[in-house]
Amino acid sequence: MEEFHRSISLPFSFRKLKKEIQQGKYHQTQIRSIIWRICLGCFSQEPNPKEFCDLIHKHRERYSLLKKKYIRTFKVAGNKKKNNNSSYNKKENTTRIKNQNKDYDFSNLILLDVKRTNAGEELFKKNETKKLLFNILFIYQKQHLDLGYKQGMNDLLANIFVVVYNEYITNENNDCYSILMDNNYIEEDCYLIFEHLMEKFRNVFLSVKQDNNKKNKKRNKKKIDKSKEDNQTKTTNFNTEGIIISPPLAIKSQNKAKPKINKKRKIPKIVKYCIKMQNVYLKRFDEELYKNFQLLKLEPQLYCFRWFRLLLSREFSINKILILWDYIFSDPNPIEFVSYFIVSMLILIRDQLFGDSTKVYKKLFSYSYDGKFDDIINITKNIRKPDEKTNKMIMKIKKRKPSPMYKHVIKSNRQPRAVNSRKNQPNPRSRKNLPNNEQIKIINKNQIKRYFLEKQNQKKKNKLLNEKKIILQQILSKVEDQMIPIDFIENPIQNIQEIIFNNLYHSQEIQKKLYRPLGDLKNVLLKQSSTSNLKDINEYNQKFNLNNNNYSSRGDIGSKNNIVDKHKTRDENLSNLKDINVKGIFKNEKTETFIEFSNVLCNKETIPRDNILINNTQIPNIFIKSDNQNKKNPIDDWSIIIYSFTHNAYSNRKRKIHITEDTQFDLFTKTNFKKNYLNNFNNSQSNSFFVSNKHIPCVLNFKYIAENNPILI
Amino acid sequence: MENFKICFMGDQSVGKTSIINRFIYDDFNINSQSTVGVDFLSKTIFVENESVRLHLWDTAGQERFRCLIPSYVRNSSLVVIVFDITNKTSFKSIEFWMDTVQNERGDDVIVFLVGNKTDLEDERQVSLEKLEKEANKNGFLYLETSAKTGHNVKQLFRKIGISILKQNKKRKELIKPELDENTSLMNISLNIDPNKLKQKEESGCC
């Protein structure tokens, strides 16, 4: 009661209420049924509290009329059907019977589903509840023949019913509050809320056929109208003007032509939402996960379909769903909210979404997140806000030219390089557009960062990690012993890519050894916020024990110095991308060789290209140098690192690889590398050649040294 | 271990989900919720001294979206079409499901036909004669099960495993260059009149 008066006190506006809901003030509300009615637009304008009652009365009357109309006729129809079956065939108009049979089928369908909704709960075992659910669904189906009844509606309705049933009271005072919550009208109000809910999420339930039918119907209506007009003109205007008949005819012929175009396979809107979720939102925020899904050939509509259609109501418990629905209903763009929510759902369990396809599928199709539910909502908010403007930007770019994104990235970055003026500025574009929001952005991102840090701590406990480590060790041991059979490299290319990619990247220890915070969101953030985040970097380094000492503890003196130097320069010139980039060393203890990773790996493999767009990064050349000087026996020293070029955003691009003169090629004979490339190399008689993305270069006993020279081939 | 994708199709509430649940959990729930969209479960079985991991994909009966089905049937090595022996209409719509599979995959897929709910033998509406005709006509592998009692469910999946392994071996042989090119995949799977297919294509969609 008090809550009601407080929230609906004058001056009262829907917008204010919705804002408050978005802020999470109504988690424990007792007037959710009223809030939902407001959010879903049951009250068309913004009335006084007293006018609420009038409106609700009208709705209730309307429903009772509908109920009289449909439920009765249905009963009659059902009886007649039985009569027909039991040999007493007294036939009336055949058309009528057909109609009734249709009703009967739908009612059967609805009955089946009503029986199965939340069947475990006491409330739903009652016959009254079943009747209520059935009535509402049946009437809705009759009232909205174009949409009909679809599986899933029953789940949505059940949740509404739970809310209304629990909140409604006996009407004693006859004031506004108790009229709105009168428990004599549970069914009526459930229908009202349900109808408006369906209105809002209609697209989620539409199938392609219905979409077309709707249009056709409209067309037919138009046709009928026009033909009527035709007749009228014929009859009435015939005497005055004889020419009028021709223009409608022209329109008719146009109408005939259009449906042929519609015969193409159309995608229903819900599938579009799913695809957009994965290909746009997820890709933007977590490109790696997106790529992994592509690798698994996982289409979003398979796992997202239910999430969208049921507004996630089977994924979480009812209490959480009610809170979630508050957010969804009060949002100006509910579908977008759901999409982002799904993205954050995925991100929060992302560590479990890599690796074996069976595991990933299982996880996706029975989603569970151990942490707090609020986490998901907070992340949803955070990833959504800062992206809105970049979203628009990207949309604009896409509209301009249909070619893939990265081309624009490189082109747009090329110019500032030539001018050489933007190097020390963080990002002029964002400054111009978002002078005030920049700080807020960073705060939001820090929050997200924290989530990731927490998540990485959880990783330690994860058994998966151990498995991955073992696999990695196996691979590396094979690698060290040069036991990799040719088939292993050649044949299941995708598998090996997957394994190595996942293992190298996800096991934390190896991350420390090799990759540092490679690909972590932190990097992304570092880049975007440039110099303002110096402190954060230090914090981050400490947390991950990634300070310089630890970092190069196993390295020999020379390389240590080098790295330290690089670090210094990195901290000095944060705006200079060359130095921000992740560097790492992997040491092979047996052979005492080093492989240095630098921005070659991190730029291409892990950091989403959107960030590269912002930061003028360009594709560096990859230099492979042999490091024979300190080695006793070069061939023993071969250590191997395999990584694929196919995983990155530049996959369509060829990359130049330089090999210095003293590089030994003996080992290439063991792999297919020689067949494909060495001949080419010898023929060209130059010290560089091209590697296309299809092949895996095996780099043995070499150092990677990345240079920042851009290549554009 | 190789994964094999198996799709379950059929009308609403014929018992697709129940069969899968019986197989995986050996359990039956009268009030199982209706499937919305697609569901996924997996189990490893041992057939003929080989372990086979089955990926079971379960669709909603009502979803006749043409756009959801392609991504669902794609890469599947076997399709199970389920109908309810106490429900004539579910039997009639076998043709519809068959068409959707064939439109997407051609003949390159094994099809199992499963009549569920044998525990309700008294209410049977689809006679065995009809079934024989249908199965012979299309070359289906037919089996009757009851998810409620568990009748024939294990056998179903064993047969599925066996036929998948067979198909897989033949495929592998085909890939080897020594074999004749004449032995095509067509011989492995169903025999279906090309004329019939054409007719259906002409008649359009569902």
In this prediction, residue A110 carries a pLDDT of 87
- Which residue reads 């068309």 in tokens? A44
On average, the pLDDT of chain A sits at 58
**Which stretch, A63-77, A380-394, B156-170, has highest mean pLDDT?**
B156-170
Dihedral, CA of residue A321, residue A327, residue A329 and residue A332, to nearest 10: -150
Which of the listed ranges A83-87, A204-208, A248-252, A692-696 does the model predict with the highest average pLDDT? A204-208
Classify residue A619 by its DSSP letter. Answer: P
Distances, alpha carbon A301 to alpha carbons A278, A304, A349, A455, B100, in Å: 9, 5, 19, 27, 18
> For residue A190, what pLDDT is reported?
92
Gap between the Cα atoms of A153 and A207, Å rounded? 14
pLDDT tens digits, one per residue of B163-194:
988 888 888 877 654 434 443 333 333 334 44
Query: Using one digit for the tens of pLDDT, what is the confidence trace for A181-218?
Result: 888 889 999 999 999 999 889 888 887 665 555 555 55
* Cα–Cα distance for residue pair B91/B114, rounded to 1 Å: 10
- B45 touching chain A per CB within 8 A: no
Q: For residue A306, which residues of chain B lie inside 8 Å, CB to CB?
A: 36-38
Type and span of the H or E element at A579:
helix A577-580
In order, the DSSP letters of A87-125 are T------HHHHHHHHHHHHHHHHHHHHHHHTTTTSHHHH
- Hey, what amino acid is at A499? I
What residues of B are in contact with residue A207 (Cβ under 8 Å)?
64-65
Quick one: DSSP state of residue A42? S
User: How confident is the model over A577-589, as a mean pLDDT?
Assistant: 32
% residues pLDDT > 90 (chain B): 21
Site from A151, A153, A267, A360 to mutate, B interface, most B CB atoms within 10 angstroms: A151
Q: Which residue has the higher pLDDT, B196 or A622?
A: B196
Quick one: which of B123, B65, B67 has its CA closest to B90?
Answer: B123
B29/A120 Cα distance (integer angstroms): 10
B1 close contact with A: CB closer than 8 A: no
Name the more confident of A682 and A164: A164
Closest residue, chain B, to A206 (C-alpha):
B65
Higher pLDDT, A3 or A270: A270
Task: Provide the 3-class DSSP secondary structure of residue A508.
Answer: helix
Determine the average pLDDT of the residues in B102-109: 79
Q: How far is A187 from chain B (nearest CA, A)?
A: 23
Residues of B within 8 A of A318 (CB-CB) are none
Chain A residues within an 8 Å CB radius of B38: 302-303, 305-306, 365
Q: What are the φ and ψ backbone dihedral angles of A548, each rounded to 5 degrees? A: -60, -40
- Reported as a pLDDT band with limits 50, 70 and 90, residue A119 is confident
Query: How far is C-alpha A673 from the chain's CA centre?
Result: 38
B84 is written with which tokens?
């309810």
Distance between B115 CA and the closest CA of chain A, angstroms: 19
Facing residues of B55 across strands?
Answer: B5, B42
User: Which range, A17-26, A476-485, A691-700, is most confident?
Assistant: A17-26
Sheet harboring B78-84: ordered strands across? B38-47, B50-59, B3-10, B78-84, B110-116, B141-144
Query: Which of chain A's residues have a Cβ under 8 Å away from the Cβ of B75?
Result: 297
pLDDT score of A377: 85
Mean pLDDT of the region A520-535: 39
User: Given an 8 Å threshold on Cβ–Cβ distance, is B55 in contact with A361?
Assistant: yes
Question: CA angle, corner A435, sides to A431 and A437, nearest 5?
Answer: 110
* pLDDT above 70: residue A133: yes
- Stretch among A8-17, A222-231, A482-491 having the lowest mean pLDDT: A482-491
User: Which residue in the block uniquely carries the two structure tokens 């001294």?
Assistant: B49
In which region does residue A679 sit, left (phi positive, over 0), alpha (psi from -120 to 50) or beta (all else)? alpha
Higher-pLDDT residue of A690, A41: A41
Contacts of B93 in chain A (CB under 8 A): none
By CB atoms closer than 10 A (0-12, 13-18, 19+), residue B24 is middle
* Residue A453 pLDDT greater than 80, yes or no: no
Pull the structure tokens for residue A162: 């739970």
Angle A494-A352-A291 (CA atoms, 0-180°, nearest 5)? 40
Residue A501's closest CA among A284, A279, A283, A288?
A288
- In 3D space, the residue among A164, A168, A197 whose CA is nearest the CA of residue A182 turns out to be A168
Q: Which residues of A touch B63 (CB under 8 A)?
A: 151
Note the pLDDT tens digit of each residue in A596-621. 333 333 333 333 322 222 222 233 33
Residue in chain B nearest A359 by alpha carbon = B42
Task: Say yes or no to pLDDT of A447 above 90.
Answer: no
Chain A residue with minimum CA distance to B32: A116
Confidence of residue A7 (pLDDT cuts 50, 70, 90): low
Output the pLDDT for position A169.
84
Nearest to A302 among B13, B30, B71 (CB): B71
β-pairing verdict for B110-116 and B141-144: parallel
Which of A105, A133, A365 to mutate to test binding with chain B, by most B CBs within 10 Å of its CB? A365
Query: What pLDDT shows up at residue B84?
Result: 92
Q: pLDDT, tens digit, for every residue of B89-103?
A: 888 888 888 888 888
Residue B67 is nearest to which of A113, A267, A306, comparing CB atoms?
A267
Which region among A105-109, A293-297, A415-419, B202-206 has the lowest average model confidence (pLDDT)? A415-419
| 3-class secondary structure per residue, chain B | CCEEEEEEEECCCCCHHHHHHHHHHCCCCCCCCCCCCEEEEEEEEEECCEEEEEEEEEECCCCCCCCHHHHHHCCCCEEEEEEECCCHHHHHCHHHHHHHHHHHHCCCCEEEEEEECHHHHHHCCCCHHHHHHHHHHHCCEEEECECCCCECHHHHHHHHHHHHHHHHHHHHHHHCCCCCCCCCHHHCCCCCCHHHHHHHHHHCCC
Instruction: Identify which of A208, A266, A365 has the shortest CB distance to residue B39.
Output: A365
Instruction: Please check whether residue B53 touches A, CB under 8 A.
Output: yes
| Chain A nearest CA to B68, separation (Å) | 7
Closest Cα to residue A307, out of A359, A345, A251? A345
Q: Burial, A471: exposed, middle or buried (Cβ in 10 Å; 0-12, 13-18, 19+)?
A: middle
Average pLDDT over residues B144-169: 90
User: What gap in Å lies between CA B127 and CA A422, rounded to an integer?
Assistant: 80
Question: Which is more confidently placed, B15 or A262?
Answer: B15
Within A168-239, residue ranges assigned H as helices are 176-180, 186-200, 202-205, 208-236
Shortest distance between the Cα of B177 and any Cα of chain A, in A, equals 16
Cα–Cα distance between B186 and A175 in angstroms, integer? 75
Is A591 a residue whose pLDDT tops 50? no
CA–CA dist A700, A665 (Å, integer): 9
Which A-chain residues 538-567 have CB contacts (< 8 A) with chain B? none
Q: What is the mean pLDDT of residues B111-129?
A: 89
Q: How far apart are CA A183 and CA A513, in angstroms?
A: 65
Task: With H, G, I as helix, E, B as strand and everything else as coil, classify residue A182.
Answer: strand
Mean pLDDT, residues A12-34 taken together: 82
DSSP character for A9? Answer: P
- Provide mean pLDDT across the span A81-107: 48
Of A106-120, A207-221, A395-409, B130-144, give the lowest mean pLDDT range: A395-409
Q: What is the pLDDT of residue A567?
A: 40
Q: Which of A112, A266, A365 sits opposite B13 (nearest CB)?
A: A112
Assign residue A24 a region (left: φ > 0; alpha: ψ between -120 and 50; beta: otherwise): left
Give A702-711 pLDDT, tens digit per residue: 223 222 322 2
What pTM was computed for the model? 0.57
Q: Locate tokens 């924290």: which residue?
A: A450
- Chain B residues with CB under 8 Å of A260 CB are none
Gap between the Cα atoms of A476 and A466, Å rounded = 15
Residues of B in contact with A150 (CB under 8 A): 62
A429 — pLDDT class (breaks 50, 70, 90)? very low
Nearest CA distance, A579 vs chain B (angstrom): 44
Interface contact flag, B31 A115, Cβ < 8 Å = yes
Say whether pLDDT at A565 is over 60.
Answer: no
Q: Does A154 touch chain B if contact means CB atoms closer than 8 Å?
A: yes
Confidence (pLDDT) at A111:
86
Nearest CA in chain A to B33: A116
Q: Which of A15-24, A87-96, A244-253, A663-672 has the highest mean pLDDT?
A: A15-24
A658: contact with B, CB 8 A cutoff? no
For the residues B6-28, what does the mean pLDDT come to?
90
Tokens representing residue A66 in the block: 């509908």
**A55-64, A85-94, A346-355, B23-32: least confident range:** A85-94
CB contact under 8 A, B34 and A362: no
Sequence-distant (≥ 6) Cβ neighbours of residue A547 within 8 angstroms:
A541
A620 lies within 8 A of chain B by CB: no
Q: How confident is the model at residue B22 (pLDDT cuts 50, 70, 90)?
A: very high
CB contact under 8 A, B31 and A116: yes
Cβ of A272 under 8 Å from any chain B Cβ? no
Q: Is the pLDDT of residue B77 over 70?
A: yes
Q: How far is A271 from chain B (nearest CA, A)?
A: 8
Query: A361–B62: do the CB atoms touch at under 8 Å?
Result: no
